[in-house]
Amino acid sequence: MATEKPHLNLVFIGHVDHGKSTSVGRILLDTGHIQQHLIDKFRKEAEAKGKGSFEFAWVMDNLKEERERGVTIDVAHKKFTTDKYYFTIIDAPGHRDFVKNMITGTSQADAAVLVVAGPEGVMAQTKEHLFLAKTLGVKQMIINVNKMDATQPKYSEEKFNAVKAEISKLLTMVGTKPDDVQFVPTSAFVGDNVVNKSDNLPWWKGPTLVECLNNLEIPQKPTKLPLRIPVQDVYSITGIGTVPVGRVETGVVKVGDKVTFAPSGAGGEVKSIEMHHEMMEKAEPGDNIGYNVRGVGKSDIRRGDVCGPMGNAPTVAKSFDAQIAVLSHPSVITTGYTPVFHLHTAQVACTFMELTKKMDPKTGQVKEENPQFLKTGDVAIVKIQPTRPLVIEKAKEIPQLGRFAIRDMGTTVAAGMCLDIEKKE
């Protein structure tokens, strides 16, 4: 059984068209998780639609609309195993309109593969995704310098080193030591150095991409933290009743536990827990479960609510202080600005009440007290007030529920983490 191996959630991020889906397709093919005839079938379809070279991507992009447009929209989940680990791949869309799906994907990831095309190097979204991964708490990162078959000259070691230097600068900016990050040159389309070593890269003495994946470390499960299960969906199932579905972020839940949902206030005893259609006595962080709570009806709870233990209910904020990084805003952010905050499974409009301090992003020192406005590139401490009840936790106590992205006008404006909370009575 695949499940006996340690499990990691892996997200592929990076600029649109840099080869994220192709990298994933190549891994699945060369590790034997999909058959060559499927790729051949996709190749014929892709060529018929004038989208040659997309056959690997179509393994992931199995939504029809994505094939017509040639872009990744939904966060597709694919599973594969190496000799060491069992992975769930979250293929995050690089396309701007889909960053919000990317956020929901990335906040679940144990590790990220940042795909950067060798010929183009660092692009706008390369930076945005790197910042987001950092702010959303992805601890481990692999940099896949892809399309080495298309550099000038082909498979150029100099080009790889130049891209590596560019990214190392970015990593240093977000406070990650480049030495802690694995870099790997590949051509996912040709199949060089993804699963199999390649004669086309004789100068490369390091690992393949899959070897890099095997070098990742299993994060410690936050079982000691209080139970928190953000509600993704609520179903009514015949014979069972109301079943909220979600991923256990922290803590452990057992059949018989008394739980409560915030902000709704509904609660009761856990009667059953199910994962992948199998009944379980308990669930731990990382488990995607459906569970039934005695006395909780379908209309009592909704997506964005969070389940926690009766004695230690999730925190509902009247207001909160946060540190944010402004990723891209067309003008400036001032007090009164009310964009949508994406946090665990909640999406709530929140108002900027105070701009408290502007920080130096490199050193973390205070640059300016009570700034008049914030613009792209600024890092700041701000006071935020949700327009309706919102569960959020301090990032240093329960980081899984303390990080958020801020979206407006179809783009990610900023990302941040919660420092302090004024609780709603």
> Considering 246, 277, 312, which residue would you say is the last residue of a domain?
312
Q: Give the domain extent around 32.
A: 2-214
Q: How many helices (H) and strands (E) does the chain have?
A: 8, 24
Cis bond upstream, residue 222 (ω within 30) = no
351 and 301 housed in the same domain: no
Task: Give percent helix, percent strand, percent coil of the chain, each to the nearest 5.
Answer: 20, 35, 40
Answer whether residue 89 is part of any domain.
Answer: yes
The encoded tokens of residue 372 equal 């008049």
User: For 57-66, 138-147, 242-251, 366-375, which range has the lowest pLDDT when averaged over its residues?
Assistant: 57-66
pLDDT band at residue 19, thresholds of 50, 70 and 90?
confident
Examine residue 122 and state whether it is found in any structural domain, yes or no. yes
Q: Rounded CA gap, 294 and 195, in Å? A: 48
Neighbours of 82 (CB within 10 A): 17
- One domain, residues 195 and 67: yes
Regarding whether 167 and 238 lie in a shared domain, the answer is no
Q: Which of 89, 83, 82, 129 is nearest to 111 (CA)?
A: 89
| 220: in domain | no
> What's the CA angle centered on 341, arms 69 and 352, to 5 degrees?
135
Q: 325, 296, 307: which is closest to 262 by C-alpha? A: 307
Let me know whether 184 and 303 are in one domain: no
Q: What is the CATH number of the domain that holds 95?
A: 3.40.50.300
Q: Supply φ then ψ for residue 44, to 5 degrees.
A: -60, -45
Please tell me the number of Cα atoms within 13 Å of 380 on its side-chain side.
27
Last residue of a domain, one of 292, 312, 332: 312
pLDDT recorded at residue 136: 60
Assess whether 233 and 320 both reside in one domain. no
Both 45 and 188 in one domain: the answer is: yes
- Find the CATH number of the domain harbouring 353: 2.40.30.10
Number of separate domains in the chain: 3
Q: Which of 288, 312, 336 is the last residue of a domain?
A: 312
pLDDT of 122 reads 87
Q: Are residues 283 and 193 in the same domain?
A: no
**pLDDT band (50, 70, 90) for residue 272:** very high
The verdict on residue 221 lying in a domain is no
pLDDT at 409: 84
pLDDT at 411 over 80: no
Give tens-digit pLDDT for 166-180: 999 988 877 789 999
Asked whether residue 273 falls in the same domain as residue 336, the answer is no
Q: Does residue 283 lie in a domain region?
A: yes
The reply to whether the predicted model has a pTM over 0.85 is no
Same structural domain, 256 and 177: no
DSSP 75-142: -EEEEEE-SS-EEEEEE---SGGGHHHHHHHHTT-SEEEEEEETTT-S-HHHHHHHHHHHHTT--EEE
| Residues present in the chain in total | 425
Torsions phi, psi of 128, nearest 5?
A: -60, -45
Q: How many angstroms separate the Cα of 355 from the Cα of each of 23, 321, 384, 415?
A: 42, 10, 9, 15
Please report, to the nearest 10 degrees, the dihedral formed by the alpha carbons of residues 230, 235, 239, 240 taken in order.
10
Tokens representing 390 are 């919102």
Does residue 334 sit within a domain? yes
Based on the fold, state whether residues 98 and 174 are members of the same structural domain: yes
Helical H segments across 148-235, by residue range: 157-173, 209-214
- DSSP conformation class of 220: P
Of 302, 305, 386, 393, nearest to 339 by C-alpha is 386
pLDDT on residue 48: 73
The verdict on 35 and 154 lying in the same domain is yes
Query: Does 192 reside within a domain?
Result: yes
In this predicted model, what pLDDT tens digit does every residue of 38-53 receive, in sequence order? 667 766 776 777 665 5
pLDDT at 381 over 70: yes
Residue 409, phi then psi, degrees to nearest 5: 55, 35
- 125 or 1, higher pLDDT: 125
Structure tokens at 3: 């499940």
Residue 224 located in a structural domain: no
- Residue 307 and residue 320 share a domain: no
